[in-house]
Amino acid sequence: MSYAYLFKYIIIGDTGVGKSCLLLQFTDKRFQPVHDLTIGVEFGARMITIDGKQIKLQIWDTAGQEAFRSITRSYYRGAAGALLVYDITRRDTFNHLTTWLEDARQHSNSNMVIMLIGNKSDLESRREVKKEEGEVFAREHGLIFMETSAKTAANVEEAFINTAKEIYEKIQEGVFDINNEANGIKIGPQHSPTSPSSPSGGPGSSPGSGCC
């Protein structure tokens, strides 16, 4: 249960691009073709290993609908990483990236790592946005880029993990102030010198896991 770091992610992008499906594929390794509208915010968590360190990803999946935009904006705060998702079969979702990016830059901390994701790569026949376009957009805006399929799971792991690697590197470089939780990074109990392998009470014993 213990981890070295906890990274907070946020998934953003137009409605219907597959944000909730990406999360579900990453945390539960399953695909749900019909998904309810996300009204507010959903959560998922998973442990990964980077550089031999256990890292917990806490992922906030937001509502893409315009009506919920101002609420979504309030969730950028305190995120270390963002997955900005568009649907390669719907050009409008690609066209809206600039708006999303502006939102993200304005409301998040400046070091937030943003991964651009072109989702639904399994639907090659219906593709409206070329992979190169995504690459160009990412390069121009300093993002990492990947095409994924929440359905086939292609690149889903990589998208989440590569983002984490980037954050981890920034920590090593001292870019992130890891003592400020508003940056979306928490130092886990593993790091605590006083309790190298504390009894860790068992699941459910402390819901507020590592509040300090």
Partner 1 sequence: MISRFKNALLNAVSSPVLDASNTSSVSGRGGGSSSTSTTTSSSSAVPHSYSSPHLNGNSETSLTNKNARLQQPQHHGSSDYNAAANGFQERVKRYEYGRPHFLQLNSPDEIAVTADHIVRPIIVPRDLTHLPWETGYAETINSGKSKVNEDQARMHAGFVKVEIEDGESEIKEDKLTEVGSHLCQEGPLCDFTSKHSKGKGVMWFPHTNITKDSLIVGALESAFYEMDELIREENLKYDGVNGGCTAVVCLFILGKVFISNAGDSRSILCYRDLEPVPLSNDFTPESERARIRLLAAQNPHLLGMDFTSNEYLRRPVKRDLGSKILYRAAHMTGWAYKTATVEDLKFPVVFGHGKRSRVLATIGVTRGFGDHELYAHSTAIKIKPFLTSQPEVKILDLVEDSLLEDAVVIMGTDGLWDVTSNQTVSRIVFNTLEQFPQVDTARYKYRYVSAAQDLVMHARGKFQDRNWRMSDGSAATIDDISVFVIPLGPYYRDALAQESLTSISLTPLPNSSTLLSENGSCIADSETQPGNEVNANVLATNTTNNNNGLSSSSSFNNNHNTDSVLNGDAADPSVELVSEAIDLEMDEPNH
H-helix or E-strand containing 107? helix 97-107
φ and ψ at residue 121, rounded to 5 degrees: -65, -10
Least distance from partner 1 to the Cβ atom of residue 30, Å: 16
Joined together, the tokens standing for residue 88 give 């390669």
Name the residue nearer to partner 1 (CB basis): 32 or 152: 32
Least distance from partner 1 to the Cβ atom of residue 39, Å: 5
Q: By CB under 8 A, is residue 207 in contact with partner 1?
A: yes
* Distance of alpha carbon 22 from alpha carbon 46, whole angstroms: 13
Q: By CB under 8 A, is residue 71 in contact with partner 1?
A: yes
**Helices of type H across 120-193:** 131-141, 156-172
Beta carbons of 55 and 47 less than 8 angstroms apart:
yes
Tell me which of 58, 109, 111, 162 binds partner 1, using CB under 8 A: 58
- Pick the closest to residue 7 from 48, 56, 54 (CA basis): 56
Tell me which of 69, 77, 105, 165 binds partner 1, using CB under 8 A: 77
Least distance from partner 1 to the Cβ atom of residue 151, Å: 21
Q: Give how far Cα 48 sits from Cα of 94, 103, 137, 159, 166, Å.
A: 29, 28, 28, 12, 14
- Pick the closest to residue 90 from 61, 57, 128, 142 (CA basis): 128
Name the residue nearer to partner 1 (CB basis): 133 or 181: 181
Tell me which of 175, 181, 187, 191 binds partner 1, using CB under 8 A: 181
Least distance from partner 1 to the Cβ atom of residue 205, Å: 8
Least distance from partner 1 to the Cβ atom of residue 121, Å: 25
Q: By CB under 8 A, is residue 111 in contact with partner 1?
A: no
Joined together, the tokens standing for residue 96 give 């809206």
3-state class of 85 per DSSP? strand
* Distance of alpha carbon 49 from alpha carbon 160, whole angstroms: 12
Non-local CB neighbours of 170 within 8 Å, separated by 6+ positions: 111, 113, 176
Least distance from partner 1 to the Cβ atom of residue 83, Å: 17
Q: Which stretch binds partner 1 (CB under 8 A): 32-40, 85-93, 125-133, 140-148?
A: 32-40
Tell me which of 29, 30, 43, 136 binds partner 1, using CB under 8 A: 43
Contacts with partner 1, residue ranges (CB under 8 A): 36-37, 39-43, 45, 58, 60, 65, 67-68, 70-71, 73-75, 77-78, 181-182, 203-204, 206-209, 211
